[in-house]
A and B are shown apart, each in its own frame.
Chain A
Amino acid sequence: MTTLSLKRFAVLALPMAALAMTTSAHADEWTPSRSVEFVAPANPGGGWDTLVRTVSRVLQEEQLAERNFAAINVPGGGGAVAWAQIARDSGNPHKLFATSPPIILVPLAGASRHDHTDFTPIARLITDYSIILVEADSEYQTINDLFDALKENNSLSIGGGSAPGSMDHISVAGLASAAGLDASSVNYIPFSGGGDAMTNLMGGHVEAVITGAGEAVGQLGEGSQLRALGVSSPERLGGGLADVATYQEQGVDYTFDIWRGVMGAPDMPEEAVAYYETLFTEMLETDGWQQARDQLGWLDAYQDSETFGAFLDEQKEQFSSVLSDLGLLRQ
């Protein structure tokens, strides 16, 4: 059912987008008539919350938006509670939320009735990448060393910061399968966060850890107890991670994005989508954004509504296949 509607969506997407462009050119430009509710589907402090608060702050400081962006936390169910609320608000042009791979993974795991096709994609903003870490004095020098060892002994434990079937696990399982191993053979140990996983690596309780590059950057460099084996980006990253080779450089053809973006209530009017697209493009250009982005270790990865929508569909296919290899597909 879903794949069918997806295909139909793809067939319709192009002409509809063309139509949207012509109509929006004629229609009066839409601007928000009240403050925009910008929902972080989680508690304060996490990735979504940081994105929501940073975007709201930059928009306000740079005086880009006509109306205030109000950050709202709706925690619960790894996002499912907020999604259920927003899905009921069809057509509301004043309701946005921060999004990232869980919008695809949580429904695939059977834990949410709503998935990305229920909402209006607005824009992808930034991305982070996965990084594989080992102890500084570990015998492994490349990801191939690690995977060779895994082939010999698949009980070697790889820690990550999230539950099985969520980002870190998908990322390392996909990598293993690209390196010629069975995705389900990775002994993935879930910890309650990237920090928790890295602490356990420092204590030698696990063999390696997969986590977000942004989260790991503070742990690398001179005098540190950890060392990076590889990063999931298509090209080398800058700053403190310039020395870390990509998987592709090491002969494993695999990349993984931990993207973050903005979606809106279902069936948001085209004019409103166009307004937000322009707003976020302008925001990405400001000094305030670039400063915050660099400090948080984010990389710009802008996609407009249409490209973002197509990207989400692609991601869903990719994730479904890894999850089904892992036996975790429950949809």
Chain B
Amino acid sequence: MDAFNNLMYGFGIALEPMNIAYVFAGVFAGTIIGMLPGLGPISALALMIPITFAMEPSSGLILMAGVYYGAIFGGSTSSILLNAPGVAGTVATSFDGYPLAKQGLAGKALAIAAYSSFVGGTISIVFLMLVAPLLSKVAVSFGPAEYFALMVLGLTAVVSLSDKSLVKGLIAAVIGVMISIIGIDLQTGTERFTFGSAHLLDGIDFLVVALGIFALAEVFYMLLRGGGGKEAPRNAIGSLKLSRSEVKQIAGPVSRSSVLGFFTGVLPGAGATIGSFLGYSMEKRIAKDGDTFGKGNIKGVAAPEAANNAACTGSFVPLLTLGVPGSGTTAVLLGALLVMGVTPGPMMLEQRPDVFWGVIASMYIGNIFLLVLNLPLIPLIAKILDLPRPLLLSLILIFCMVGVYGMSFSIFDLLLLLGFGLLGLGMRLFGFPAAPLILALILGNIMEESMRRALQISGGDWMTFIDKPISLSLLLIALLSLALPLLKKRRKKVM
């Protein structure tokens, strides 16, 4: 009952009136930041460091953590309503969320996102509380070879994400990997595909591609089709209520994805975006109605939303127990903690239990706040779909432009956004799926870097990927997940 006592101690801290106010302020600000593309949790947290400087460290971290998971929670809203992901972690939510909204089920999609986020968040806090110190060993057991194998496994999802034509899916994935290569190569310092432009040295921001290929391409597509009379009446937001059978349907995906998401989050460098993709593609493969994923399946909203929120909590494991940041966002949190005089790491549990347990307890409260805050807001926010089409389209356009410009203050990125919008439109017109491109873009870079790093360490010996048990088993799972659908297909053909 040690964990229980510690948790009660944590609640003692988190339930102080000021701290309750901080949790609320944090998750509220986070929800809004998450809804707006461009202003991600990283920049928001960096801007907050001066505010938290004078705070009690536990209050400061409670506030900042609230902004972080609040942003992931809120990011699904614009993914579902506008096909414009607010943060990178919610890209996968738009695959099924947006089709649902188009069918007049926006309310349901948003409600599922909110419930799944809540469950994913809460399950992962339980994990964080019970096994965080043990998990720090798992986090460090992943070296370059293991990451490479994990990324290979992730990439096999291309097969399930390319709905009709596998060849077209693979082409999209190759384009994604190519985009991920742009910029200075970390291994050699060489510039690749930058065409001498300083703007491309750091590569292309993931959100520029995602907003272009999803949101902007959708706007172009609607303009091209014109009229729009054939679509369902937009004013139908639909009910927020889930039927019993719907709850049953999503229960499995949500719990599986919560666990998967949490462990992905624990690995430094993986994080919410990869977690949500893994959750989505896992459920698509498991589901009997897997072929309706991407056309508005509620499981396709539930899985990534549970996974990304769980991964967000999971990313606190390496931060709090090892003192190393697993992502850009946790790097900023680490910086903020150092400024407040707290050194996260193996000694933190003993030296600053108030911070550790206070934050964990505050996450329970924060997740409840998020649910209570988001559910009543859904009908209000979903009203955006009632706007006349010309207004709505212009709004999405402005939304994307401002978001991208706000990330880098660079006109160049706006042109890139436009370019990716056109690419997305072309892909759509010729039946190329966008999801494999996005997946390959996320995984490609880490996969390449880890492979080369692993080979550099092993002195060029490829056996390093097979010698390590974790790497070997991940590669075997990847092989299996490739072989099974092909076998299934063949069997179908024979029958």
- List residues of A whose CB falls within 8 A of some B CB: 43-45, 49-50, 53, 57, 73-78, 80-81, 84, 109, 111-112, 155, 157, 163-166, 187, 189-193, 195-196, 198-200, 202-206, 217-219, 221-225, 292, 295-297, 328
Contacts and interface: CB of A to CB of B under 8 A. Distances in A.
A74 B199 CA distance: 11
Given A45-B42, A53-B50, A205-B457, A199 B140 contact: yes
A102 to B, nearest CB: 12
A190 B345 CA distance: 23
Given A196-B269, A221-B347, A44 B324 contact: no
B61 to A, nearest CB: 15
16 contacts: A43-B43, A44-B47, A45-B46, A111-B191, A189-B453, A192-B449, A199-B268, A199-B318, A199-B324, A200-B140, A202-B140, A219-B345, A221-B347, A223-B347, A224-B346, A295-B341
Contacts of B49: 53
Given A200-B144, A203-B142, A218-B344, A164 B189 contact: yes
Which bucket holds chain B's interface residue count? Answer: 35 or more
A190 B457 CA distance: 11
Contact of A77 (B189, B198, B340, B459): B198
A325 B112 CA distance: 59
B184 A78 contact: yes
A50 B53 CA distance: 12
Interface in B420-460: 449, 453, 456-457, 459
B228 interface: no
A111 B183 CA distance: 11
B130 interface: no
A57 B50 contact: yes
Contacts of B324: 195-196, 198-199, 219
Contacts of A75: 202, 408
Contacts of B456: 157, 187, 189
A217 B341 CA distance: 12
A84 B198 contact: yes
Nearest to B459: A155
Given A43-B42, A111-B191, A203-B142, A77 B201 contact: yes
A157 B202 contact: no
Interface string B182-203: 0011111101000000110110
Contacts of A217: 343
A297 B45 CA distance: 21
Given A163-B189, A205-B457, A218-B343, A195 B202 contact: no
B184 A203 contact: no
Contacts of B341: 295
Contacts of B53: 57
A16 B50 CA distance: 40
B85 interface: no
A328 B190 CA distance: 10
B43 A328 contact: no
A191 B457 CA distance: 12
Interface stretch (B22-30, B121-129, B301-309, B327-335): B327-335
A204 B152 CA distance: 22
Given A57-B50, A163-B186, A224 B347 contact: yes
B416 interface: no
Contacts of B187: 163-164, 190
Given A225-B346, A297-B338, 8 more contacts: A53-B50, A111-B201, A155-B459, A166-B189, A189-B453, A190-B187, A196-B269, A296-B338
A198 B161 CA distance: 35
